[in-house]
Each structure stands twice: as structure tokens, then as C-alpha cells.
Amino acid sequence: MKRPANLSNDSSAETLLSHPRVQHFPNPWLELFIVRDFLPLDACAAVVELIDRERRPSTVADPNGDPYFRTSESCDLATAASPLIPALDAVLSAFSGIDPVYGEPLQGQRYAIGQEFKPHTDYFEPTGPDFGKLCSVAGNRTWTFMIYLNEVEAGGATRFKAIDKTVQPETGKLLAWNNRRPDGCLNPATLHQGMKVRKGLKYVITKWYRERPLGFT
């Protein structure tokens, strides 16, 4: 598929706000955006099925000795035999304005009762033991785009402590943020938590973009 000529290596508030229904939460600490009903219900349900079929225990880039730091299950959606995944990748690329060559493969996550992802940032810490290996080719993560695939009966919210903002899961809701400050430095205010699911299940998909091409699409 031929890429639109206007795609670049980055997104911006101006790009995202050019689309309808985008909510921007301006503050001095963090660029955060929400779009309700971004993904149709039938597409959400289809991705949930893919995650259930392919899920495995989630991992972390730099283990910190806490075996309960991230207790969800994950799914590498790029390996799923479904035309929905490349179509969704294209939708996110068009929305963000970022060329797909800068994007990591889509990842799905499933949280059961009691599972969580404790406070963390999505970018790779420069002091981490595997920073060189993780970032030598494509650089660090720049933008995060996350879509909730279902409504959780209780719990499962995403909390940004620095700005005292808690986002509740809603089917098809997109949550996006810039992992950097305006000067391009990594932004510790993006520290966020996938709070424990208290009742039911929680499904999300996440798309991360990098500073440089990953070498595959």
C-alpha cells in the first residue's frame, strides 16, 4: 500500500487536533489527548478475540526485582493472521501523521481480576541495562497511542499521577500522549499506572512510535 505523502517522523498537537472529536488536556507537564469512539465496536470485539487467542505473560524492558510489577498478558498482534491489524495500523498512522516505518508492531494486552501495571513510563530509561540494545537502531519511544477495547466492570483505569488525571476504560476510546517535553527531552511526568482490575476483564491495544525507523513495517 502506498503511503500518503504527508506522513512524517513525528506527531504534534496541531496534527491531532486537526481531526474531529479530539479532546486535548493542556497543562505544563504533559500533552494528553482523548478520542471517544475512535475504534468501532465490531473492530474492538475482533481484536479482543485475537488477544485471547495469542496472549502470553507480559514482560518489562528493565526488570526491577518486583515480580508483580506488570501482571497482565500481552499479544504481538503483528503476527496475527487478520487483515484488521494492518488496517488499524494505517488508521493510527493517518491519525498521528507518523509514517509506519517509525512504529513498533501493535501490541494487545489483557488484564484479569487483580492484574495491573504499576507506575511506569513507556520510554526506555537511558540508565537501564538494556538501553543500548533497545534503542541503538530506532532510538527511544516518542508517542504512545492506546485504545481501550472494552468497558471494565470495576477498576482498570489509567492514572497519570503528575497531572492528577485518571482515564476510565470505554470501548473504542483512544488515549494518546507525547513521551517528551517541548524541548525533546524525555518527560517523567508521563509516569502512568494501569490500575488493578477489580471485576471483569480489561483489553487494550498499544502503538508506540520511535525516533528513527525500525527497519520494518
Q: pLDDT (tens digit, 9 = 90+) per residue, 89-113?
A: 999 999 999 999 999 999 999 999 9
Query: Which residues are CB-neighbours of 77 under 8 A, at least 6 positions away?
Result: 47, 50, 51, 54, 85, 105, 106, 107, 108, 205
Q: Which of 60-64, 139-143, 172-176, 195-199 has the lowest mean pLDDT?
A: 60-64
Please give the average per-residue pLDDT across 132-140, as a whole number: 94
Beta bridge partner(s), residue 197: 113, 155
Checking if the pLDDT of 81 tops 80, the result is no
When pLDDT is averaged across residues 33-49 and rounded to a whole number, the result is: 97
The predicted-structure confidence for 146-182, as pLDDT tens digits, reads as follows 999 999 999 999 999 999 999 999 999 999 999 999 9
The band of 55, judged by pLDDT with boundaries at 50, 70 and 90, is very high
pTM of the model: 0.94
Strands 165-167 and 158-160: antiparallel
Which is it for strands 192-194 and 56-57: parallel, antiparallel or unpaired?
Answer: unpaired
* Homologous superfamily in CATH for domain 13-140+158-210: q2cbj1_9rhob like domain (2.60.120.620)
Check pLDDT > 60 for residue 1: no
At residue 2 the predicted structure's pLDDT band, cuts being 50, 70 and 90, is very low
